Structure 1
Amino acid sequence: MNRKTVIVLFGGQSSEHEVSRMSATTMINEIDSKKYQVIPVGITKEGEWLVYTGPTEHIKTGQWEKYATPAIISPDAKQKALLKIVNGHVKVIPVDVVIPALHGAWGEDGTIQGLLEMACIPYVGCGVLSSAVCMDKVFTKLIAKNAAVPQAKYIWFQKEELEDMDKLVERVEKKLGYPCFVKPANTGSSVGISKAKNKETLVNAINLAAEYDRKIIVEEAIIGREFECSVLGNEAPVVSGVGEVLPAAEFYDYDAKYNNSESRTVIPAPITAEEEKTIRKIAAKIYQAVDGSGLSRVDFFMEEETGRVLFNEINTMPGFTAISMYPMLWETAGVTKAELMDCLIELALTRDNGIRG
């Protein structure tokens, strides 16, 4: 049997470079080597593309760069190939599928998906449009509103508006009040997010968010519980069961997710069958509203006082680390990581995304 060649693309220039390396390590270890020839290709923080053939554990630790060789994915649709550059000579390696295990900017936002569309190479995950709109929290909320998906109240503004900070603070206080959450519109893994409890912390939070993006979003704080579920599929997606997030910190920020061992997830979530049904139904609705494909993780709040289920955000390339909810939810449903990777590759190969030939 001829093995298909799969590139696992990792690293990147975003603030989630390290998380991407951890996700890629898990994916590479779980892909069936009898069915697929796996080629790890890393992007350094400086944006250099390198093909790596050493031990997988070096990807996780960051040592992989010492043993890598320059290589790029060709945008030439006739080649459908990785171009490996050795001593000034180019070796053309045909490629069947790419797994863009990239989180955040320049990877989860439609940019790498656009390159792969140009190259006519099938890839795992959402397409250009859905990747872009889901990366931008403002556009996600606009789509959710249009689809009648319940969500927290919010306002958003451009970085240039920070020149009149008093006016912004007044808008937030009038519509949302305290506490509230301030987020860059285009980051993942809770990077740059702060909880503001008064005017001073609000100003600091807005300035921090502005360091990461030119658009800032402020949301009302929902007092309640946090839940996540996994979506898998193209035209007929399947939604997993529901897991609950119990953050060690005041909210589930980057450090609480990846560095605080006291943060916990509970699978399955201790909720009623009706509550689970509601969460899963909304997850499928927003996934289809953004034209999702391949996979996504959808996050929710359940308001303590009213029991309302509110959509929080959708992540089109969720983490595959040892503590990531996406694969754990499917494992609880009886789908191993190896089976999940096989399914994702097959979904990429069969997705009707307009790729020619």
Structure 2
Amino acid sequence: MSTENLPQSPEQPSRKPRVAVVFGGRSSEHGISVVTAGAVLSAIDRTKYDVLPIGITRDGRWALTADEPERMAISDRRTPDVEELAESGEGAVLLPLDPSDREVVFSEPGSVPKALGEVDVVFPVLHGPYGEDGTLQGLLELSGVPYVGAGVLASAVGQDKEYMKRVFTSYGLKVGPYVVIRPREWAQDEAGARKKIVDLAGEHGWPLFVKPARAGSSIGITKVEDLSGLDEAIAEAQRHDPKIIVEAALRGREIECGVLEFEDGPRASVPSEIPSPETHTYYDFEAKYIDSTPGIVPAPLTDEETAEVQRLAVEAFEATSCEGLVRADFFLTEDGEFVINEINTMPGMTPISMYPQMWQAAGISYSELVDRLVQAALRRSTGLR
């Protein structure tokens, strides 16, 4: 029997991939994460993707938020908060834990849970603990949902400054002098721990930088000029993380370089230079985000120096098994050597952040950058990375 004259079923329109932009979180970098999310929501191509904004409050509740990027900017020297954007003060967004089901649900007390549709990829723009450190990545692996950026191990290594440096050293990348003080060490032998720091200063000189070992955005960091400021600096760092790292000052120029995953592998961006801020003693949180100390893009380097820092940035990306994106931060010392300070597996992507600026200078717009990151995540399946 011929089927030529039978009515044909209408073709179903193909569904656009759905991107959940997850932001906020429990870390001290909550506000900057919201600002980054606002920039991503503004840049993502709405003709190509459906978008679901999900904010995580400071106490850990996953909230359905308004899709209003204009409300997610720094205003009057303060960063925004997820609670200000949440559409409900009690409801919570729930991810599926069944890899065969990508249906996201919104649940409120006393109400029937509301299906929000399937999510094809998560764009987690959280910074710091409980978001950038492998914890959220582990949850997404359990859920079977692809996501932008580094996997569980790379995220954890990239968040912990001690183990990051250990990995770099094992791959032959040069790092600066440092000591680590763990919480048990501080509790059981405070005098011995303090002596380690003093010995570091004795060998390499003051100032020292006292930092939380697992934090970012320069939060909790103190530049210590002499012994009198040490105890206060340690207390401030421990307020953000019980494990601290103390680094000797490196004298030289601060150079950053972005890495982005392309179809054929990672490539490095145009590098940038962070000049010494005029109104701050170093490139701290306020210099970065509030007073917006501008970086220099491209960095005034020789062709040989540019090629070398790009090579080292990709090497750091590979050494830590990163995916998607990384910003690698270096010092170009007075003797002409690049020393890696750290990587950031989910760098700030606010309109003034250096990562998107470096790629824009390399010919990739912010919108194209976001699209490339989403496409890279969609190409990958979840599982052990």
Question: Shorter-chain TM-score: what band?
Answer: over 0.9
**Partner in structure 2 of residue 236 of structure 1:** 265
**Partner in structure 2 of residue 95 of structure 1:** 119
- For residues 77 and 231 of structure 1, the distance between their equivalents in structure 2, rounded to whole angstroms, comes to 30
| SS of equivalent residue, structure 2 residue 355 | helix
- For residues 213 and 174 of structure 1, the distance between their equivalents in structure 2, rounded to whole angstroms, comes to 25
Matching residue's letter, 1:75: L
CA-atom RMSD, angstroms?
1.8
Moved more, 66-75 or 98-107: 66-75
- Displacement of 1:341 in angstroms is 1.0
Question: After superposition, where does 1:193-342 map in structure 2 within 5 Å?
Answer: 193-233=221-261, 236-248=265-277, 249-261=280-292, 263-304=293-334, 306-342=335-371
Q: Does 1:27 align with 2:49?
A: no
The alignment's TM-score, normalised by the length of structure 1, stands at: 0.94
**Which digits, 9 at most, give the CA deviation of each residue in 1:324-348, with x for residues without a partner?**
0111111111111111111101100
**Partner in structure 2 of residue 171 of structure 1:** 199
The alignment's TM-score, normalised by the length of structure 2, stands at: 0.88
| SS of equivalent residue, structure 1 residue 75 | coil
Match of 1:10 among 20, 23, 48: 23
Decide which structure has the larger Cα Rg and report it: 2
Q: Assess, with a 3 A threshold, how the Cα gap between structure 1 residues 65 and 91 changes in structure 2: closer, same or farther.
A: closer
Q: Could you tell me whether the CA contact under 8 Å between 2:106 and 2:113 is conserved in 1?
A: yes
- Displacement of 1:274 in angstroms is 0.7
Q: Does 1:109 align with 2:133?
A: yes
Moved more, 150-159 or 116-125: 150-159
- For residues 217 and 17 of structure 1, the distance between their equivalents in structure 2, rounded to whole angstroms, comes to 22
Q: Could you tell me whether the CA contact under 8 Å between 2:271 and 2:299 is conserved in 1?
A: yes
Matching residue's letter, 1:103: H
Which structure shows the higher strand fraction? 1
- For residues 246 and 67 of structure 1, the distance between their equivalents in structure 2, rounded to whole angstroms, comes to 43
Matching residue's letter, 1:250: T
**Partner in structure 1 of residue 76 of structure 2:** none
**Partner in structure 1 of residue 169 of structure 2:** 145
| SS of equivalent residue, structure 2 residue 270 | strand
Moved more, 122-131 or 73-82: 73-82
Matching residue's letter, 2:86: E
Q: Could you tell me whether the CA contact under 8 Å between 1:231 and 1:295 is conserved in 2?
A: yes
- Displacement of 1:135 in angstroms is 0.1
Q: Unpaired segments of 5 or more residues in structure 2?
A: 1-13, 74-79
- For residues 294 and 193 of structure 1, the distance between their equivalents in structure 2, rounded to whole angstroms, comes to 28
Q: Unpaired segments of 5 or more residues in structure 1?
A: none
Task: Report the count of equivalent residues.
Answer: 354
- Displacement of 1:112 in angstroms is 0.4
- Displacement of 1:203 in angstroms is 2.5
Moved more, 323-332 or 164-173: 164-173
- For residues 59 and 75 of structure 1, the distance between their equivalents in structure 2, rounded to whole angstroms, comes to 30
- For residues 142 and 112 of structure 2, the distance between their equivalents in structure 1, rounded to whole angstroms, comes to 24
- For residues 138 and 252 of structure 1, the distance between their equivalents in structure 2, rounded to whole angstroms, comes to 21
- For residues 161 and 371 of structure 2, the distance between their equivalents in structure 1, rounded to whole angstroms, comes to 30
Q: Could you tell me whether the CA contact under 8 Å between 1:120 and 1:355 is conserved in 2?
A: no
Matching residue's letter, 1:189: S
Q: Does 1:187 align with 2:215?
A: yes
**Partner in structure 2 of residue 79 of structure 1:** 101
Q: Identity across aligned pairs (percent)?
A: 40
Matching residue's letter, 1:252: Y
**Which digits, 9 at most, give the CA deviation of each residue in 1:78-102, with x for residues without a partner?**
2123111255212332110000010
- Displacement of 1:66 in angstroms is 5.0
